[in-house]
Structure 1
Amino acid sequence: MIKSKSFQFSAKVVNLYKFLTSEKKEFVMSMQVLRSGTAIGALGREAEHAESKADFIHKLSIGLKEANETEY
């Protein structure tokens, strides 16, 4: 469930990035949106291979933080 939702979200973020850079000529904000929006899925994948329960929770917490920053 998290994999598919984070992948779908990342795809939407990439499309938003493309729109912002090509149509609006916005490069600074769009790059931040791209980094934080795609980091969510990457951190979720990393959490799957966590070394401990604490490491798993830590990596998912970072993903949650990135998700909250992307909502603005």
Structure 2
Amino acid sequence: MSDSIIKEKSFELAVCGVNFYKYLVADKKEFVMSKQFLRSVTSVGANVSEVVNAQSKADFIHKLSISQKECDETMYWLELLKETEYISENDFKSIHEKSNVVLKIIRSIIITTKKNL
């Protein structure tokens, strides 16, 4: 997985998320939800990176499942930030779409791996 699309996409999502967090803190003065968002969005890629060192297929699936949960959580915080009017619909769509792409790739990898067990 060293040169995989999921590593690339999850890293891009993390970079986008960090920059979005900086915007939320500096411009919107939002500190609580933005911190939760930052933790989850950066955790997606961190857990994907750990997959490389999985000790078994079960461990591989487990680590990717954690990444999937973190991606779901990222999307939750984005939805909450939008509904509480901290972010615009356009800001929401941009990052939400990236998160959704990563989530679909992770789910696909998990499903395929389970089929091959």
Question: Which of the five TM-score ranges fits, normalised by the shorter chain?
Answer: over 0.9
Q: Which amino acid aligns with 1:15?
A: N
Give the distance between the partners of 2:12 and 2:49, measured in 1 at CA: 14
Unaligned runs of 5+ in 2: 77-117
Partner of 1:37: 41
Unaligned runs of 5+ in 1: none
Give the distance between the partners of 1:41 and 1:56, measured in 2 at CA: 14
Question: Does residue 1:54 correspond to 2:58, yes or no?
Answer: yes
Percent sequence identity over aligned pairs: 58
Give the distance between the partners of 2:48 and 2:7, measured in 1 at CA: 7
Q: TM-score, normalised by structure 2?
A: 0.60
Q: TM-score, normalised by structure 1?
A: 0.96
Give the distance between the partners of 2:75 and 2:30, measured in 1 at CA: 18
Give the distance between the partners of 1:66 and 1:2, measured in 2 at CA: 14
User: Hey, which bits of structure 1, 4+ residues long, moved more than 6 A?
Assistant: none
Count of residues paired in the alignment: 72
Larger radius of gyration: 2
Q: Please, what is the CA RMSD of the aligned residues? A: 0.7
